[in-house]
Amino acid sequence: MYLPRHHILTRLSPYRRHFSHSAAAVLRPPGPEPLTYLDGFPRPDPKHDETILAIPRADSGKNISAKERRAGRLPSIVFEQEDGQHGGNKRLISVRTDQIRKLVNHLGRSFFLSRLFHLQVRAHFDSEDDFVETVRVLPRAIHLKAGTDAPLNVTFIRAPSNALLKVDVPLVFRGEDVSPGLKKGASLNTIKRTVKYLCPADIIPPYIDVDLSELDVGQKLVMGDLKVHPALKLLQSRDEAVVKIMGQRVSELQKKK
């Protein structure tokens, strides 16, 4: 068949790298500065930067999934942006089970799900030069086998710079040692461990610091109290509590008397 394009043989060389660099040359119109992490807020630890390797896979199905797992691979999907207005197709891929297991073990499940990764799709895992594309993704969900916590499947969502993504951001509690309430023997009631935000893809926080250092007995922190980049939009009620310092129960007080 005739393809009306010059230098077609060169363009169709099987040895040509399939990652197009044209996208890197996309012009940026004058306008608001790109969003960046602000000083004083958590940012992803570079030591966990890792490219997840993937290969295209055949259509989904139980048999194919089982076959993939036996080969040490996880069936996976990369979904298009969540708005869905502009179409786009999901991508069917397989990733290495051991790589995903290692990442989840190192980061923790919640932190794995709130971090961006570069996904490099290759024709084959061992074909370093023949990769189809590299795309930035956010893990969307991961299913772990009960008992062993072995990963069964994982899904991602594409995360270009202009994307707005719903992310369950994990909370990290600090200051327990100086909390006046905790010093009095009260207990920490952790009500929420993650909070859902609509995040610009370029500034997804790896976690949110929750400062307990000034909390006294009976006091609580609500979602509206959390310190986050102003570009993040809270998707839950501002008045919903995330943590509370619980006073001692009357029965416990009586026991001490």
Partner 1 sequence: TVFGDGSDLIGQICNENPEKKIECTNILRADPTVLGAKNLLQLSEAILNLAVNKTEKAEDFLKGLANTTDVPAIANCALYYENAVERFMNSLQKLKCQDLKVANYLAAIAGDEPSSCETELSAAHIVNHAISAVNHQTSLLSYIAFVATGKLS
- Convert residues 113-132 into a mask of x (bound to partner 1 by CB under 8 A) and - (unbound): --------x-x--------x
Write out the two tokens for 25.
Answer: 């040359």
Nearest to partner 1 of 127, 213 (CB atom): 127
Q: Are 55 and 122 in contact (CB under 8 A)?
A: yes
Nearest to partner 1 of 61, 108 (CB atom): 61
Instruction: Confirm or reject binding of residue 3 to partner 1 (CB under 8 A).
Output: yes
Sequence-distant (6+) residues with CB within 8 A of 163 are: 81, 82, 200, 201
Give, in order, the Cα–Cα distances in Å from 132 to each of 43, 53, 74, 116, 159. Answer: 29, 11, 19, 19, 17
Instruction: Confirm or reject binding of residue 164 to partner 1 (CB under 8 A).
Output: no
Instruction: Confirm or reject binding of residue 7 to partner 1 (CB under 8 A).
Output: no
Instruction: Confirm or reject binding of residue 9 to partner 1 (CB under 8 A).
Output: no
Which residues make beta-bridge pairs with 77? 92, 155
Q: How many residues touch partner 1 (CB under 8 A)?
A: 41
Angle CA 138–139–145, to nearest 5? 175
Per-residue b/e over 30-62, b at no fewer than 16 CB within 10 Å? eeeeeeeeeeeeeebeeeeeeebbbbebeeeee
Instruction: Confirm or reject binding of residue 133 to partner 1 (CB under 8 A).
Output: yes
- Convert residues 55-94 into a mask of x (bound to partner 1 by CB under 8 A) and - (unbound): xxxxx--------------------xx---xxxxxxxxx-
Give the interface with partner 1 as residue ranges (CB under 8 A). Answer: 1, 3-5, 11-12, 14, 16, 18, 20, 22-23, 25-29, 55-59, 80-81, 85-93, 121, 123, 132-133, 135, 158, 160, 162
